[in-house]
Amino acid sequence: MSEKKIIRQKMLKYVSRLSEYERKKIEEKMQQQLFANPVFQQASTIGITISTAIEWNTYPIIEKAWEQGKVVASPKCIVKTKEMQYYAWRQANQIQDGYAGIKEPIPEKTKPIQSNVIDLLLVPGVVFDKDGYRIGYGGGYYDRMLADYTGATIALCSEQQIVDKIPRASYDLPVEQMITEERMIKIPKQHI
């Protein structure tokens, strides 16, 4: 088993053991930090996944973005090419279970959004290092997305999900900011 897989499994175990109360407390603090962040406040289009049970809850972020008149775009996975296409959506009847049980927009009921119009991309991950590099869920979809993406990137992660260093490949790209339950971490430009 690769080092990345071992680190991923260990961290997923930690996250899955959190009580509902602990999770909610961490999520609320992260969301407060995100909502106060100028990058979030100034973004008019936000790229965000629709969270699964193991991920930090993104529904309150989606609702806050809608309240503020922002366009919310979520990805649909194209399994064959391991790419993602983002679609803008506004109602629960515009999403359905998709790849790996992840909720995705229904293309016929939503509007495709090109990545270059997404001002802020919330990048999911399981483990992050101090330089903003991440270990995701193993599909490689975000590595491909980030290669051509030019907007701002923020990851939500608990302090426990940050380690000193993770194994990196040449195609790995860091996020620009990490928001935890305690702080906002800006990654110095030389690491990006």
Q: Where is average pLDDT lowest: 42-46, 60-64, 167-171?
A: 167-171
CATH no. of 3-191: 3.40.50.10420
Structure confidence at residue 191 as a pLDDT band (50, 70, 90): low
Structure confidence at residue 2 as a pLDDT band (50, 70, 90): confident
Question: Are 90 and 66 a contacting pair, CB within 8 Å?
Answer: yes
Res 141: pLDDT: 86
Distance between CA 99 and CA 182 in Å, rounded? 33
| Token pair in block for residue 191 | 């690491």
Listed as own residue / partner, the contacts of 184-191 with beta carbons closer than 8 Å and 24 or more positions apart are 184/33, 184/37, 185/130, 185/132, 187/131, 187/132, 191/131, 191/132
Q: How many C-beta atoms surround the C-beta of residue 53 within 10 A?
A: 7
User: 150 vs 26, 33, 103, 170, 192, CA distance in Å?
Assistant: 29, 23, 25, 18, 12
* Size of the chain in residues: 192
Phi, psi of 23 (to 5 degrees): -55, -50
Residue 190 has pLDDT above 70, yes or no: no
Q: Where is average pLDDT lowest: 8-12, 168-172, 184-188?
A: 168-172
Q: What is the mean pLDDT of the chain?
A: 93
State the pTM of this model: 0.94
Sketch the domain layout of the chain as residue ranges: 3-191
* Nearest alpha-carbon partner for 191 in 121, 106, 180, 178: 178
What are 115-167's pLDDT values in tens digits? Answer: 999 999 999 999 999 999 999 887 788 888 888 899 999 999 999 999 999 99
Provide mean pLDDT across the span 40-58.
95
What are 76-85's pLDDT values in tens digits? Answer: 998 888 889 9
Question: Are 25 and 176 a contacting pair, CB within 8 Å?
Answer: no
Res 160: pLDDT: 95
